[in-house]
Amino acid sequence: MGAGHDTVAGELARRAREQGHDVVVVDLLRLLPHGVGTGLRLFYRSSVRHFPWVYAALYAALLRPGPRYRPSGLPLARLAGRRLTELTERTDADVVVPVFHLAAQLTGHLRARGRLGPPSAVFMTDFAVHRQWLHSGNDLYLCLTDDAARDVGRSVPVPVETTGPVVAPGFFAPAPGAGPWRRRFERYAPGRPPVVLSAGAWGAASELDRTARRLTGAGFLPVVLCGSNERLRARLAGLPGTFVPDWVTDMPGLLRASRVLIDNAAGQTAVQALACGTPVVGYRPLPGHGAEGVRRMAALGVSETATDADALLGALRRLSVDGPYRYRRIARGRQLFRGDVLDRVSALAGAPSV
């Protein structure tokens, strides 16, 4: 769902190919028969864009951790079981790496029943562990943080390790595109610190226009990323003092040219900002795992949260100015990035290809 899972899968595949391995990237939703996956994706996108209360209810009913019984996503995931096993047999795969919770449910189910030959190493892309990630049939769980690893370890009797997030190398290196972005920002709004408001790949966020107006009034330059939501982009493009780019292909340059990221999902854009050294503030998070992830990030000290507009402006004023406070937050965020997920995956495979 969304671009975050695809981005992680793509980066893992790039690393594996760079090391000489053979890689097949597959979208579980495309393995579901009769257009079920397409319908599920459209439903989720519509929910987070237009009816967030629907997703909040689904999260509470299906995903939220806790001792009370909740329905499983496994019956849905099992519809893709035959196609997945055929694919692993045809490609002679040595290991399967789920980066999406329904995929983790399916691989765990198949491994537990002896129907999936290669081991499964689940890479959890979320800061907050929800129950649909968890299945005791999987062979290994790789987590973003020690807190997430402890949660997994308490729930399933499976080896668990902390590897940190997966982002492309360009987010750690000096970004050649940062200079052109800075010049664009300075021409558009001289002297105003640029602050990115991210609505994710699907352009899902609440009250972006109101937030942008508050930032402009406080002396900042709001840089609003609308993803693929062209209607949202067209609506916000007319706001005075607001910079609304088209789909951004140079995220390392944009993030390094910006002073702070305002995030609502604790997803891939947030960890990319941390890798770039751009402080993150969680504000008006998406319901469900978005809100849980934003809360977890702040509890780790790698980001801040703002409960209202005044708190948001206070956080931006603290973090946008060079000095010890900003530098400590940047250093804390970069501590998340520890090891190479691929090393652990290759070790689990116990074979020369992935």
pLDDT digits (tens, 9 = 90+) for 87-133: 999 999 999 999 999 999 999 999 999 999 999 999 999 999 888 89
Q: Which residue has the higher pLDDT, 200 or 351?
A: 200
- Domain 170-334's class? alpha beta
pLDDT band at 5 (very low <50, low <70, confident <90, very high): confident
Looking at residue 354, what is its pLDDT?
39
> Rounded mean pLDDT of the chain?
89
Tell me if 203 sits within 8 A of 49, measured CB to CB: yes
Model pTM score:
0.90
> Which DSSP symbol is given to 335?
T
* Residue ranges of the chain assigned to CATH 3.40.50.2000: 170-334
Q: Which H or E element spans position 222?
A: strand 221-225
Whether 351 has a pLDDT exceeding 70, the answer reads no
Distance between CA atoms of 244 and 307, rounded to whole angstroms?
Answer: 24
Q: Can you tell me whether residue 9 is helix, strand or coil?
A: helix
Q: What is the pLDDT of residue 250?
A: 95
pLDDT at 1: 66
Angle separating helix axes 268-276 and 2-18, nearest 10 degrees: 60
Q: For residue 352, what pLDDT is reported? A: 42
Percent of the chain beyond pLDDT 90? Answer: 67
For residues 271-278, average pLDDT:
97
Non-local CB neighbours of 200 within 8 Å, separated by 6+ positions: 2, 3, 4, 227, 264, 265, 267, 269
Q: Indicate the helix (H) or strand (E) that contains 36.
A: helix 36-50
